[in-house]
Amino acid sequence: MPLVRVATVQDIEHIASMDNEMTAMHQQAWPHLFSTQPPSKQDHSHLESEIDSAESKVFVAELDGKLVGFVSIKIVGEQRSHLQPMKYAYVPSLLVAEPNRKSGIGTKLMSAAEQWSKSQGAQEIRLTVWAFNERAMRMYNEIGYEVMTHSLGKRFTPNEA
């Protein structure tokens, strides 16, 4: 079973590499939305700020000394007047490397994210799953997540713009 631990700045290169895998999967499914650009120094800076911030955390899963997954989590305050004010956690990214999927690592990473969120006073946890990612949706449903909103989009053809 993997060791789940808090990420350090020494993990950034490995996390960025795994993030490339996630981007490639999304780009293959929806090339009109996701970039094929390689990660930039700005991406590394963003990861470093997530690792060093009091309002966010990154957890990694390590198996036989190799990083095989990560989850990033941050604390957000609901400020819109038509919604109940609350502190919640948001998961921008979760990835388990392809050979290690369906082994419980994603569930273990989400458990670490949930525990940290609760310790920070979050009242709930939220995330976004792209519609094409049915495997991720199944995992989240299995661990108790439910659909809270539907985000819709409509693509225009070039001569409509």
* 87-96 vs 56-63, strand pairing mode: unpaired
Number of domains in the chain: 1
Task: Count other Cβ atoms within 10 Å, centred on residue 132.
Answer: 13
Burial class (CB in 10 A: 0-12, 13-18, 19+), 14: middle
Residue 104 confidence class, pLDDT cut points 50, 70, 90: very high
Residue 138 confidence class, pLDDT cut points 50, 70, 90: very high
Give mean pLDDT, residues 27-50: 72
pLDDT digits (tens, 9 = 90+) for 1-26: 889 999 999 998 888 888 777 777 77
CB 80 within 8 A of CB 43: no
- 129: domain CATH number is 3.40.630.30
In this prediction, residue 8 carries a pLDDT of 92
Higher pLDDT among residues 132 and 45, named by residue: 132
Domain limits for position 101:
3-160
Phi and psi dihedrals of 71, rounded to 5?
-140, 140
Residues contacting residue 130 through CB under 8 Å, at least 6 positions apart: 26, 29, 30
Give mean pLDDT, residues 146-160: 85
User: Model's pTM, two decimal places?
Assistant: 0.85
67: its two tokens: 């990083």
pLDDT digits (tens, 9 = 90+) for 50-102: 887 889 999 999 999 999 999 999 999 877 777 777 899 999 999 999 888 88
In this prediction, residue 43 carries a pLDDT of 66
